[in-house]
Structure 1
């Protein structure tokens, strides 16, 4: 009897792709997880290190980084599943859903930190 693979919504479709593509997709998933950890670490560090920046802007940048870090695993999971399904069905890979919002959030956090430095 074949063992069920999780998530069924991915593995129930198409044929098994070349293992190299599946492993590359897994590495991309893990890169998004590392990005999430880095964003959360940046948010914590910004608040914990007492950098003497404008307090409201520093807090806002920290919150933006933390929220982005908390939401980034959604990109990791849904991106992995969508890519794996496309690989299994031999269709073009879909575009990333959350890459643009992640980029915008990092830019916003950077601008907030820059303003916090200038206005201290």
Structure 2
């Protein structure tokens, strides 16, 4: 069983909104999936046993602040419980950067001038 994530793949920014995916390529399928973040249970799903086919489960994670998050999963079936290795996700762009001000006043002040605030995340 292997965990992976797509943090930064959708927007090229590690912004605190991502999916953690569990793939089990061989063996007896799990019936119960549990995902832990920093040793706290955050997701549980009941699965269909379709052994010996591969099994994939996706957990949506969002609202994470800048920091490092550790994940591990458990798959349980009639034979017991298997635990994945720890998977680490680093969030670096959850908070917006400082705003940058600009304007469109290129020919002198007029009543239609606009102030523009650019904030990159």
> More strand by proportion, 1 or 2?
2
Task: Normalising by structure 2, report the TM-score.
Answer: 0.25
Rg (Cα) greater in structure: 2
Q: Which has the higher contact order (CA 8 A, sep 6+)?
A: 1
